[in-house]
Structure 1
Amino acid sequence: MISWSFIPWILQIPPLMCAFEISECYFSIKDFRRDGNVMIGAFFPLHYYYIVKKIPHKFLPNHYENLYLQYKFKNYQFVLALVFAIEEINRNPQLLPNTSLGFDLYNIPFSEKNTLMNAFIWLTGMSDVKANYNCKKERKSAAALTGTSFAISAHMGTLLQLYKIPQLTFGPFDTILDDRTQFTSLYQMAPKDTSLPLGIVSLMLHFKWTWVGLLLRDDHRGSQILSHLKDEMKKNGVCMAFVEMISGTLASFSDSFWKSVGRIQDSSANVIIIYGDTDSLQGLMKNIGQKLTTGKVWVMNSLWDVTNHLDYFMLDSFHGSLIFSHHYEEMVDFTHFIQKVHPSKYPEDTYLPKLWHLFFKCPFSRTDCKLLENCQPNASLDLLPKQNFDTAMSEESYYIYNAVYAVAHSLHEMIFKKVQIQQYENGEGITFLPWQLHPFLQNIHMNNHVGSHMLTHMKSKLDSKYDIINFWNFPKGIGLKVKVGSFSPNAPHGQQLSLTTNLIQWPTRFTEIPKSVCYKLCRPGFRRTIQKGKAACCFDCISCPYNEISNETDMDHCLKCPESHYANTEKNHCLQKTVTFLHYEDPLGMALSSIALCFSAITASVLGVFVKHRDTPIVKANNRALSYILLITLIICFLSSLLFIGQPNTATCILQQTTFGIVFTVALSTVLAKALTVVIAFKVTFPGRLMRWLMISRATNYIIPIFSLLQIILCGIWLGTSPPFVDQDAHAQHGHIIILCNKGSAIAFHCVLGYLCSLALGSYTMAFLSRNLPDKFNEAKYLTFSMLVFFSVWVTFLPVYHSTKGKVMVAMEVFAILASSAALLGFIFAPKCYIILLKPKKNVFHGIRDNTYYGRNNLN
């Protein structure tokens, strides 16, 4: 039965004396070897030693006790990729016939000193290295594979180029390593990250992350990516919450390192971009993992080991991370190969027994690194948890695979063309000098097993496509890397980023897509505005203006409601406005219509009284015909106000203004005629041919038709040029659309009104001039007061009318019509009705004979 219990990755090694006795297992210089006609030197970081507390050894100088060994089991896939590629090439009869490839595997220790030491051992074949000495019987070394960091490749490159030995690096692309004047023998297998900043910023824009932190290695690669990210972020409106350039390593942490960790944890940015390789910033990654910083979304490049920290139950700081990985073809054969890997298949491999011992509890000999017995024959690497070992080929393993094929194809081309090749000696294999491979490595086009076409010469490489990987590790131990999208820099604009958002698992703190912005989320009803003195991505939230809404979170602009709608109180939704007008059921409309009908009835009653008492002196003295005309006109005036009440239409809009203008013109013309009649009646006894002619010719009878005709012509011009029409007022009353009559031509309306005021002013003038005439019934005084009230009503009406809106404006016009009409009725006819009905004794001829002239009655 396979044990699924987690085994600590840290193994304590006995003191150095015991370790020396088992040095063949734990401290072997050459970790794994496969013989071949041509050998490749492989330098992989598989384990390292460190000292927790320096306790000097009792016997050996410069040595310490309490030495600890830590394995990087994920990197063991590099070894398997190397073995897989070499076995595949050796089985291929079309590639390197009669020639086999082999390899020498060396571990890359933690210190740079030991890195160069292993390189010297590989070059010279001597464990006790002496410069410029070579103990190898023959030169069969073709090239060296190095990685994973810039520092390892650069240090080894400085040494290897002295011997012109081809060096192929499988770590991330580096511009310094690409300098052919500085590294003449170095070839990088990884493509450039030219389009990575654009891809990361495109991801930020997709999720609307505008406030992000940057965590970079404090070296030239960190400075380069920072410059490119700044440019892309500035162009696309993404702001940096902080930039931390970390220089601390796994073994030593400075004060600035701990300050950086604190700033990361305290930052309001929920999204942090990390750029580095497997070795750089590894100490920071461990610290983040151990502190369970689960509230951040980490966006990183692919060359990271996000599981290289201590285990905590269920939780993982890097669960939900998004990783940009260079796209490469899936290699199913490699996965099948790993499933068949077993210590018994590769007895020379010293790492496999350790894996079986740690994960499957197999008995293990510390003397020769061999399993003591065949335990659990069904044990396989694909049974290990994903966070410990992944059977799917990683990006770095893919570059190792391609590097081996690059060497193989170069050798094949060199043999085929017989360029500077020595003859086989004693059938033992080909002899050549490593530098002879350079022309072929620089120019060869390589087709590997999966069909990828690549050019080894990095200058000809194009920007590659990126896969976007989501890291699933909740509960901790799953260790899945799920492809959720891709970024293609050469795709049309707008189609470069492709994401399947519903596949993404976010950190456990978030239940939906995380937000990373420099402000509190602006809820619906508010919009964002830039904060003064802060970054362009930092906003305040302000309420939407009048009749504008925002129905989504974090809107930059509010949306104006249509004319037929209005914003609700929360300003997050537009509501349909209610259509209204001054209708009869409205309290104001009901009151005005009742008043109009009552005054019409009163006027009709007065007319009836005058008709009934038409032969009495008071009716005769006030010109019966003019009184009848004025009373009938007033009835129409009162009833015309009803045209303003109810739902307007085209007919009522036209009748409102024309009826109002013409009827009031008739009424005021009648009043003017009455006032002029009074003046003529009292002036006729004075000498003067004009007054006598006016009385005899009855010129006052032509006042009404002449002045009314002028108003009719004015109204006709109004209707012919810009007639009134039905209109809607959506702004006068909140939440309502008021249907009313638009005057059409405001000039024509004011001309009609001005004409009426002119008639009123003329009537007032005539009545005022005759106020002191000896009239028994004070006709001139009553006319004066009626015109004064009429004139006051309409002069007051104009400013009030223009200061009101909607139904109130219509009601003001109705009120002006009713008030002015009531003034004419009250001041002119109320005193007469009072005498006729209540003081009939005064309504006799002899009661007025002493104060008036008999001839005056002939005017009736």
Structure 2
Amino acid sequence: WKNYQYLLTLYFAIEEINKDAHLLPNVTLGFHLYNAFHTHRQTLEGLLMWLSERSEFIPNYKCKTQHKALGIIAGIRPEFSAAIGTLLELYKIPQITYGLFHSVLSDKDTFQSLYQISPQEKALTQGVIFLLLYFGWKWVGLIVADDIHGREFLSDLTAELASEDICVAFTETIPTYMKVDFLFEVGMVDLSQHTKVNVYVFYGDIDDVTIFYIENEIISKRKKMWIMAKPNFVYLQSVFYKWIGLMSFFEGSFSFSKKRNIPGFKHFVQALTPSHYPSSIYFHKFWLDNFHCSPSPLLCGVQELCPLNISLKNKQEIQVVMITSEPSVSIWNAVYAVAHALHEMLLSKTEIASHKDINQDRLLPWQYKIKFWKISKDQQKCIPCPIQQYPNPERNNCLPKSMTFLSLEDSLGLALVCVALCFSVSTAVVLGIFLKHQDSPIIKANNRTLSFILLISLLLCFMCTFLFIGQPSTASCILQQITFALVFTLVLSTVLAKTITVVLAFRVVKLGRTMRRLFVSGIYNSVIPICFLMQLILLGVWMGTSPPYIQADAHSEHSYIIILCNKGSVTAFYCVLAYLGILALGSFTVAFLARNLPDTFNESKFLTFSMLVFCSVWVTFLPVYHSTKNKAMVAVEVFSILASSAGLLGCIFIPKCYIILLRPDKNSLKCFKNKTKYRHNRLF
């Protein structure tokens, strides 16, 4: 499974780079695949075949030149990298390794052209020690693979165990698969000699575990605690499907691995079908081995063709290939390091060509080696992560950013929704009270039709704030501004109509006959559709020229991509606000002029104060809105809508509800006549 995932990671990285128009423009990155054999002799044979590009290799001769291979990405075993490294040094061809870091390969006197992707770290031995100390395990057995990494791990671990007073019952090394020829001659550890040891620390690959399990018949040694110290043990589950005994034997064991992720890789693997890479023999074998079908017709015709809808989702045990391992991340980083080095080399050659006529098609491995050395040095400083990712605390890996927006999961978003719900319910209750007492003098005297329109408009104002909460979409971004502008236009035009009604009601005696007829006919109600129509025209121009849209802000916060609505045309947005401001100022002016008129229920004073609150909220909104960013901007807009609407509701309707519910004696025709008579006596 690990080899299949390594191959898939390589294909994925190459495809990503070739689709990137900025990294390697007009350049297509390709690759050759070669097997890493178990013996040094076969390993060097493969390398010589690659160098000469013939089945019978000829040293120092390159028989084909149409493919320019400038470097090698080598496997996870340091023995393999060391074996081919000496030969590659003769031709100054760079080698990039994706295995665990090893100090032997970092010797620049021996391996001048070798670069290790994985950083040097001592966290593994410290993690094992911490685990042993946490559970109080002081008597352990060590089983380590006999390779470079195993010997280095054993040296570091035994030193740490001695310093923590943890005793080692036995230490055994097992031959790796490169030394499997000696397996039957030397034999392996017999765990029956160590029955009192309940904790084993195992350091080796999946192949080492399988060989160790088979040859020693350790199925009988259950109820032991195993600590699988090798960090790339995420594929152990795939072995369980073939060796059921391993599942029961290693139940409850510990393994170490880093949580890594390759953006887009899981989706890439899930989307694979037999039609992908038809010329690749490796993928042909992949479908044959795991699905027992052939992606294309075979000459022998034994296997049936794979169904068109088959994919990795259809087989549970293959899901393990989607678990990102540390070597896979290193392969992905290695391919990108190669691409960045090639990008820098091509860029430098382009700059030189502008001053001197040179052959730009000639790219030599040693030139690439020098440029890669410079890139690897720059990597120690920093290679910027893609815009959709951010660096981890160690600054050696890029992690995907999470999307965020003002939602119910945020305490601020939840609080705003709760406030909006409370005000919506309150408005509905007030509307119910007015409907129940619609024939009472206080409601009749203040134009109950306009009062009902105003209450419904305020209810819509509170409810429109729900459009601002949640993940933005193109529809919600447009509806936010249209609904906000129209319902507030309806509110303000209704308030303006009410103030005009108050003024005309007390000036009707002084008006001419024609004006009195128009007043009686309710001509003042035409203010509402006229104001509404003008706002519709403004919104039509806005939506027709530059409507709101979704914007992803990946720069404001370190580990988040903030999804919010962009206003589109800022000028149009402020024109809509300015029109609302004109309506509010007009309503305030008319209400202020009518504040001393002998209104029986004194509504003109309430209208004046409500407009004062409304204007104060939106005048404060402008500087605060400009000084905030991201989700806070949305919260400020929602808060302003709620505050201004609540001000209108409280100033205009709460006093009337107080009289209707708590002072019914003032809400009577007798009281109305007494007040009218009293005011008439004062006037005359």
Decide whether the 8 Å contact of 2:70 with 2:93 is kept in 1: yes
1:315–1:98 Cα change, 3 Å: closer
Question: Is 2:15 the counterpart of 1:81?
Answer: no
Q: CA deviation at 1:266?
A: 3.3
Structure having the larger proportion of residues in strand: 1
Equivalents in 2 of 1:191, 1:368: separation in Å? 47
Decide whether the 8 Å contact of 2:169 with 2:197 is kept in 1: yes
Structure-2 residue corresponding to 1:311: 243
Question: Is 2:349 the counterpart of 1:418?
Answer: yes
Q: Which amino acid aligns with 1:399?
A: S
1:371–1:143 Cα change, 3 Å: farther
Q: 2:37 aligns with which of 96, 106, 109?
A: 109
Equivalents in 1 of 2:66, 2:55: separation in Å? 17
Give the match's secondary structure for 1:274. strand
Question: Is 2:102 the counterpart of 1:174?
Answer: yes
Q: 1:216 aligns with which of 118, 138, 144?
A: 144
Query: Superposition pairs for residues 322-361 of structure 1, below 5 Å?
Result: 322-328=254-260, 330-361=261-292
Question: Is 2:309 the counterpart of 1:378?
Answer: yes
Query: Superposition pairs for residues 483-522 of structure 1, below 5 Å?
Result: none
Q: 1:444 aligns with which of 364, 378, 381?
A: 378
Structure-2 residue corresponding to 1:296: 224
Q: Which amino acid aligns with 1:77?
A: Q
Question: Is 2:170 the counterpart of 1:242?
Answer: yes
Equivalents in 1 of 2:332, 2:322: separation in Å? 15
Q: CA deviation at 1:295?
A: 2.8
Q: CA deviation at 1:313?
A: 6.5
Q: Which amino acid aligns with 1:303?
A: N
Q: 1:252 aligns with which of 173, 181, 196?
A: 181
1:417–1:195 Cα change, 3 Å: same
Give the match's secondary structure for 1:444. helix
Equivalents in 2 of 1:313, 1:161: separation in Å? 46
Decide whether the 8 Å contact of 2:391 with 2:397 is kept in 1: no
Structure 2 residue ranges without an equivalent (≥5): 399-684
Q: Which amino acid aligns with 1:135?
A: C
Q: CA deviation at 1:277?
A: 4.3
Decide whether the 8 Å contact of 1:216 with 1:274 is kept in 2: yes
| 1:455-503 deviation digits (Å, cap 9, x = unpaired) | 9xxxxx99999xxxxxxxxxxxxxxxxxxxxxxxxxxxxxxxxxxxxxx
Structure-2 residue corresponding to 1:128: 56
Question: Is 2:138 the counterpart of 1:225?
Answer: no
Equivalents in 1 of 2:222, 2:252: separation in Å? 9
Structure having the larger proportion of residues in helix: 2
Question: Is 2:135 the counterpart of 1:207?
Answer: yes
Q: Which amino acid aligns with 1:343?
A: P
More deviation in 204-213 or 441-450? Answer: 441-450
Q: CA deviation at 1:370?
A: 9.6
Decide whether the 8 Å contact of 1:215 with 1:245 is kept in 2: yes
Structure-2 residue corresponding to 1:268: 196
Structure-1 residue corresponding to 2:526: none
Q: CA deviation at 1:253?
A: 4.5
Equivalents in 2 of 1:321, 1:104: separation in Å? 39
| 1:270-313 deviation digits (Å, cap 9, x = unpaired) | 22112234566763255367746433322222234535474236
Question: Is 2:323 the counterpart of 1:392?
Answer: yes
Question: Is 2:84 the counterpart of 1:150?
Answer: no
Decide whether the 8 Å contact of 2:10 with 2:332 is kept in 1: yes
Q: CA deviation at 1:397?
A: 0.9
Equivalents in 1 of 2:211, 2:310: separation in Å? 33
Give the match's secondary structure for 1:102. coil
Q: Which amino acid aligns with 1:418?
A: K
More deviation in 280-289 or 166-175? Answer: 280-289
Equivalents in 2 of 1:166, 1:158: separation in Å? 11
Give the match's secondary structure for 1:413. helix
Query: Superposition pairs for residues 722-741 of structure 1, below 5 Å?
Result: none
| 1:807-845 deviation digits (Å, cap 9, x = unpaired) | xxxxxxxxxxxxxxxxxxxxxxxxxxxxxxxxxxxxxxx
| 1:589-638 deviation digits (Å, cap 9, x = unpaired) | xxxxxxxxxxxxxxxxxxxxxxxxxxxxxxxxxxxxxxxxxxxxxxxxxx
Decide whether the 8 Å contact of 2:219 with 2:245 is kept in 1: no
Q: Which amino acid aligns with 1:444?
A: D
1:171–1:159 Cα change, 3 Å: same
1:334–1:365 Cα change, 3 Å: closer
Larger radius of gyration: 1
Equivalents in 1 of 2:213, 2:385: separation in Å? 35
Q: Which amino acid aligns with 1:213?
A: G
Equivalents in 2 of 1:421, 1:155: separation in Å? 37
| 1:69-94 deviation digits (Å, cap 9, x = unpaired) | xxxx4311111101100111111111
TM-score, length-scaled by structure 2: 0.50
1:313–1:234 Cα change, 3 Å: closer
1:271–1:441 Cα change, 3 Å: farther
Equivalents in 2 of 1:370, 1:187: separation in Å? 46
Give the match's secondary structure for 1:107. coil
Equivalents in 2 of 1:308, 1:272: separation in Å? 20
Q: Which amino acid aligns with 2:194?
A: D
Equivalents in 2 of 1:115, 1:378: separation in Å? 39
- Report sequence identity in percent: 36
More deviation in 278-287 or 387-396? Answer: 278-287
Q: Which amino acid aligns with 1:335?
A: K
Query: Superposition pairs for residues 699-714 of structure 1, below 5 Å?
Result: none
Give the match's secondary structure for 1:325. coil
Equivalents in 2 of 1:386, 1:193: separation in Å? 32
Q: Which amino acid aligns with 1:433?
A: L
Q: CA deviation at 1:210?
A: 1.3
1:194–1:176 Cα change, 3 Å: same
Q: Which amino acid aligns with 1:154?
A: A
Q: Which amino acid aligns with 1:415?
A: L
1:126–1:266 Cα change, 3 Å: same
| 1:163-193 deviation digits (Å, cap 9, x = unpaired) | 1111111112111011111111111112224
Aligned residues: 382
Decide whether the 8 Å contact of 1:139 with 1:433 is kept in 2: no
1:379–1:314 Cα change, 3 Å: farther
Question: Is 2:367 the counterpart of 1:433?
Answer: no
Decide whether the 8 Å contact of 1:298 with 1:321 is kept in 2: yes
Q: 2:253 aligns with which of 321, 346, 350?
A: 321
CA RMSD, 1 decimal: 3.5
Equivalents in 2 of 1:452, 1:344: separation in Å? 35
Equivalents in 2 of 1:313, 1:214: separation in Å? 22
Q: CA deviation at 1:361?
A: 3.0
Q: Which amino acid aligns with 2:12?
A: F
| 1:354-398 deviation digits (Å, cap 9, x = unpaired) | 232233232577966999765322211243334784212221111
Q: CA deviation at 1:406?
A: 0.3
| 1:507-562 deviation digits (Å, cap 9, x = unpaired) | xxxxxxxxxxxxxxxxxxxxxxxxxxxxxxxxxxxxxxxxxxxxxxxxxxxxxxxx
